[in-house]
Amino acid sequence: MMIIDADPIGRTLTASRFQRLFVASRTRRRFILSTKMPSSSSPHPQRRDRQHRALHSRALRLSTPRGGVSRGVPSAETGKRPVFFRSMAGNADVQWLRPLSSRPVPALAFGKKLASSWLWVASDVCKPSLPNHHMCDAFPLMRERRSFGSGPIVTYEEFLRIVARTGAIGRVPNSEQRACLEADPTIPTMIVAGPGSGKTTVLVLRVLRHILVDHLRPEQILITTFTVKAAREIRSRLIEWGEALFEQARTEPISETDREFLAHVDINRVVTGTLDSVCQEALGSDRHADEPPLVTLESFAATVILQRRGGLGASFRNNQAVLGAFLSPFTLDDDPPTTLAEAANTLVPIIDRFIQDRVDVESFGAADQPEAHRIIREIDSTYRRYLRENNLLDFSGLEEALLERLRARLIPILLADVRAVLVDEYQDTNALQEAIYFELVEACQASFTVVGDDDQSLYRFRGATIELFRAFIDRCRNRLGRAPAGPLYLVENYRSTDEIVAFFNAFVRTDPNFGPARIQPPKPVIRSNNGQGQVPILAMFRPDSQTLANDLTDFIEAVFRGSGYRDPQGRLINGLRGNREAGDLGDAVFLASSVLEMQKPYFGNPPKARFTHHLRNAMASRDMQMFNPRGRSLRDIEHVEQLLGLVLLSIDPPDRPGGSLYSSMAITNVAKFFMNRWVAAARQFLQTNPPPVYGRTLAQEMSEWRDYCLRGTGDKASSRDWPFLDVIYGLIPWLDYFEIDPEGQVYLEALSRAAGQAAGFSAYRSRLVRPQNPGSPNDHGRLSIEAIIRDVLTPLAENVIDVDEEIMPSVPRDRLNVMTIHQAKGLEFPLVIVDVGTDFTTNHPKNRFRRFPEQPSSTAMIEDLLAPFTPDLGALRTQRKGLDRSFEDLIRLYYVAFSRPQSALMLVGCDKALRWTSNIKNVALGWRQDERWAWLDQSPRPTGRRPPAMVSPPNLLFV
């Protein structure tokens, strides 16, 4: 019996997780420390830890940047690297914060005198009492410049021996990995890493090599990743392996000076994160005292500002015909956008590309260009001007701001001492990000290592430019004047069985037209290191989605809840089952190009259920659940409807004179439709008479908010204004779904993020103001409610808020993971089920772009549109035609999906696409761009007068 089980890679790390105390700048600056400390005798330790964490963020005016950048701090246990700063508080006993964990955190006690200035030094005492609002003048963070040795701590050969003797690492680098580790750090290095080939291992060990062999300090090393999950994984492994490796190295025959260095070195100080988060941390922490803080906008907030402040609203109303005709090729259905929201969603990728591709916008909108070009240039100019005037940045503007600093050689302190730059997933880098890396490496004279795989580039729709990776050798030589080492190849796969590796190797070589799009010389064939498995590639195809969902549920139940799956016809020699002790549904994942559970409604008809909806219901009938927070729109989820309806009844009740505000506001009919539906759902919920919580009823909570919003009276009237988030969280105790259900937690985060981001552009900063003249239409209380309806609730009703399931530290083990293929990038699972055609029962033109495009994708058309105005990038990108690039993106998408499994891969779809005479062409099923079908060619040829009903390639086992 083949056992499906996940590798035991989940680890809990007890490392210091607090931010740096103060961030240095070129001039001294003042900070106000808010020191209202919660009682240390609180009977609720978890609540107290949350209070401490929140206090820490408020007191230091720092928060972890979105995207996961992490920068370590001096060791909390030893205090061996105190941070110095001068006090203006006299001889007061200034103490620091309590720890976020059980470990002692150093306090700041009045101590030594150095260079005739009184300094605070870290002590081993931690007291809960702090004086209120101490004014401090921060010195630049003092880096220890003491020399720990003139040469390397160990040689490269000794480094490899230490790695082999370190139990926590548990592996010896293979010959390909050793070549990558050995590469000369004084010249750039290009590594092409196939799926499952150990690129994370190489990145982590190369960082450790920089410390031990090249004698760099951890804070001199920068690692950027494409996703937050990848950053977490690298950081987790870096800390675990680094501490063990340094401990092992101390037992080796090295000098006492180097032994002392290894005893004090803090691997947690390596800078890791996505490039966006690094930019945010670098720019935010390098701000002078008289500069306003930078605010980075979420995509929805940037879109709203584009509509209202960027001139899109007026331009669309005045030029709807011109803009509609221009934008229609970039919409999903090729129809002109009919609403402002649709126009904004279509225009945003173009405006983002202006910066990401470094477009000459003036030439794009010149007088000799089409009228739509000039209108869009003016919209972009107005939008960017508004962001500058209000100190706002979208993510592309954030990266551009860092590039401008680097070009002016005003390098932020976070990056000023960087001597090694390592970039993961370089194939998804855009032109702006490439420029940042080249400028940083040149300015700091840093070592430069890039790792990527052109076959796994998935993010062209976000501006990723695979052509930059393919041309890295030439571009690096031209830009930095140094010829890089490489490409060095990692092609030994440690993840998957022989059968799986052979399958995705064959798939990526199916279409000969894809060959020229790959890096040259082509990456060698991936080799499996796991040996032959016991399970061939499985395939489950049924006549319709409902039947497929039921049969797939039977299969999943047998594997994880029953005695295992056995092929009724005996073709599967050994069965397939989950590990009874540690295995669960979380060891499997369902991957699809789209995980939406309902189709888009057309012509007023109710939306049709898609396969994932049928699968959810089928699993629920067997007492199993799946985790698919992206599968449903926030506005359609029952519990979200109830919560938002309760919010409306609390702040905008229908018994207001003149009726509810939202019903008469100038918002879209779509928004009003969903708000009415939310209110109806809330009233149904109230009829269930929810029980009291902590002796308080839901009616009491809502009544207090109504009294405050309508008349400015009641218990809440003591405050002049309230954050809108207080309304949401005040109602949550009666909707425990948001506290106990993993999907509910993701949805609550999305609602909170929408309210929080609105504070950056909404008139009343997403706050409810106490009314002074309730009957007046100009009363600030009334206007603040209208602002919340317009800036928070309307975007939710118009479905422009995305969920972010990455807030979950891990996927629930007792649920089937449902992910888009893009989400699964970099992940692996014992059992992977790939949707290769559950939606494709006919050769409908509306879904051809997802399986066999007949024209370039909207992303490829945007690239072609901007190519003449991007001299550096346009010619490189358009070496391949737009239609070719669209096919290549589909091949890469399914190559990533097919290379995720460890033990078993299953393909699922509707069987109409497998008929011998099928005209439902699908790249995932082996169709080539020249309209030849590889699966048909591989199937046994018919011996009679009539062909078989279905194709049956020999490498698939149909179940």
Give the tens place of pLDDT for each residue, 16-30. Answer: 322 222 222 222 222
Residue 535: band (very low, low, confident or very high) from pLDDT cuts 50, 70, 90: confident
**Residue 376 is encoded by which pair of tokens?**
């869009």
How far is residue 392 CA from its own chain's centroid?
A: 21
Higher pLDDT, 107 or 558: 558
Strand-pairing partners, residue 451, are: 191
833 bridge partner residues:
590, 906
Tokens standing for 533?
């498995």
DSSP 729-773: HHHGGG-THHHH-HHHHHHHHHHHHHHHHHTTTSTTTTEEEPPSS
- pLDDT of residue 203 exceeding 50: yes
CA angle 377, 796, 736 (to 5 degrees): 150
Q: Structure tokens of 406?
A: 């680097």
- Cα 37 to the chain's mean position, in Å? 33
For residue 232, what are its two tokens?
Answer: 């977490």
> Looking at residue 34, what is its pLDDT?
29
Distance from C-alpha of 376 to C-alpha of 346, rounded to nearest angstrom: 12
| Contact by Cβ (8 Å): 717, 701 | no
pLDDT band at 3 (very low <50, low <70, confident <90, very high): low
Stated pTM of the model:
0.84
Contact 484, 475 (CB under 8 A): no
Neighbours of 374 (CB within 10 A): 16
Q: Residue 775's pLDDT band (boundaries 50, 70, 90)?
A: confident
Look over the chain and give the mean of its residue pLDDT values, rounded to a whole number. 83
Q: What are phi and psi of 660, to 5 degrees?
A: -60, 145
**Choice among 237-246, 294-303, 415-424, 683-692 with the minimum mean pLDDT:** 294-303
Supply the pLDDT for residue 583. 78
Chain centroid to Cα 619, Å, comes to 28
Average pLDDT, stretch 694-701?
A: 94
Rounded-to-integer distance, Cα 257 and Cα 152, Å: 12
SS3 content of the chain, % helix, strand, coil (to 5): 45, 15, 40
Distance set, CA 352 to CA 355, 462, 573, 731, 804 (Å): 6, 9, 53, 38, 21
290-335 confidence digits (pLDDT tens): 777 888 888 888 988 998 888 898 999 899 999 999 999 998 778 8
Q: CA-to-CA distance for 612 and 594, rounded, in angstroms?
A: 9
Tokens matching residue 804: 């972010």
The least confident of 42-51, 451-460, 751-760, 788-797 is 42-51
**55-59, 192-196, 600-604, 743-747, range with the lowest pLDDT:** 55-59
* Exposed/middle/buried for residue 116 (C-beta within 10 Å: 0-12, 13-18, 19+): exposed
Q: What is the pLDDT of residues 612-654, one digit of tens each?
A: 999 999 999 999 999 999 999 999 999 999 999 999 999 999 9
For residues 115 and 719, the model is more confident at 719
Query: Among 285-294, 315-324, 382-391, 666-675, where is mean pLDDT lowest?
Result: 285-294
Q: Which residue has the higher pLDDT, 9 or 425?
A: 425
Amino acid at 805: E
Could you tell me the two tokens for 766? 């997403």
Those residues with Cβ within 8 angstroms of residue 636's Cβ, 6 or more apart along the chain or in another chain: 598
Please give the pLDDT value at position 19: 29
Residues in CB range of 259: below 8 A, 6 or more apart: 250
Share of the chain above pLDDT 70, in %: 83
The residues facing 915 across adjacent strands are: 950
Please return the burial class of 352, using the count of CB atoms within 10 Å of its CB with bins 0-12, 13-18 and 19+: buried
Decide if 838 contacts 590 (C-beta within 8 A).
no
CB 525 within 8 A of CB 513: no
Tokens coding 299: 């995509």
- Report how far residue 578's alpha carbon sits from residue 590's, in angstroms, rounded to the nearest whole number: 16
Residue 853: is its pLDDT beyond 50?
yes
Overall size of the chain counted in residues: 959
157 backbone φψ class: left, alpha, beta (φ>0; ψ -120 to 50): alpha
For residue 118, what pLDDT band results from cuts at 50, 70 and 90? very low
Predicted pLDDT at 66: 38
Residue range 332-374, pLDDT digits in tens: 778 899 888 889 989 999 999 999 999 999 999 999 999 999 9
Write the DSSP symbol of residue 461: G
**β-pair partners for 422:** 223, 449
